[in-house]
Amino acid sequence: MEFDIELVGKVGSMALINQEHDDIDYNIIARIGRSLHPGMIWVTSGAAEIGRLDYLQRTGVELVGDAEEVKADYAAQGQSVLMTQYRQFTDSRYGLRQILVEHYHFNDEAKKEHLKNVLLRCKGQNAIPIINYNDPVSDEEVRKMEIRTLRSSRGKAVECVDNDETASQIACLVKPKYLVILTGVDGIYRNKNDSSTLIREIRGKDVPETLEAIEYYRNFCDGASRTGAHGARAKLGYIQEPIKNGTTVFIANSRYRLNDIVAGIVPSTKIYVD
For the chain, what are the domain ranges?
5-273
Task: Look at residue 111 in the predicted model and tell me its pLDDT.
Answer: 94
For residue 227, the model assigns a pLDDT of 42
Neighbours of 165 (CB within 10 A): 23
Give me the chain's average pLDDT, please: 91
Which residues have a Cβ under 8 Å from the Cβ of 160 and sit 6 or more positions away?
A: 101, 102, 103, 106, 133, 166, 169
For every residue of 65-100, DSSP letters joined together read S-HHHHHHHHHHHHHHHHHHHHHHHS-TTSEEEEEE
Return the pLDDT at 61.
Answer: 96
Q: What is the structure's pLDDT at 229? A: 45
Q: What is the pLDDT of residues 57-88, one digit of tens each?
A: 999 999 999 998 999 999 999 999 999 999 99
pLDDT in tens, 184-212: 999 999 998 899 999 999 999 999 999 99
Of 41-50, 97-106, 156-165, give the range with the top mean pLDDT. Answer: 41-50
Checking if the pLDDT of 148 tops 60, the result is yes
| pLDDT of the residue at 228 | 43
253 contacts 183 by C-beta, under 8 angstroms: yes
pLDDT of residue 141: 66
Using one digit for the tens of pLDDT, what is the confidence trace for 102-145?
Answer: 888 888 899 999 999 999 999 999 999 999 988 887 766 666 67
For residue 7, what are the contacts with CB-CB under 8 A and spacing of at least 6? 39, 40, 41, 176, 177, 178, 179, 180, 258, 262
Q: Residue 245: its pLDDT value, please?
A: 95
Q: How confident is the model at residue 160 (pLDDT cuts 50, 70, 90)?
A: confident
Tell me: the pLDDT tens digits for 208-263?
Answer: 999 999 999 999 887 544 444 458 899 999 999 999 999 999 999 999 999 999 99
Query: How confident is the model over 168-190, as a mean pLDDT?
Result: 96
pLDDT at 230: 56
Check residue 69 and give left, alpha or beta (phi > 0: left; psi -120 to 50: alpha): alpha
Residue 151 has pLDDT above 60, yes or no: yes
Which CATH class for the 5-273 domain?
alpha beta
User: What sign does the dihedral 33-184-70-100 (CA atoms) show?
Assistant: positive
Q: What is the pLDDT of residue 226?
A: 42
Q: Are the C-beta atoms of residues 167 and 43 closer than 8 Å to each other?
A: yes
Q: pLDDT digits over 31-62, tens only?
A: 999 999 999 999 999 999 999 999 999 999 99
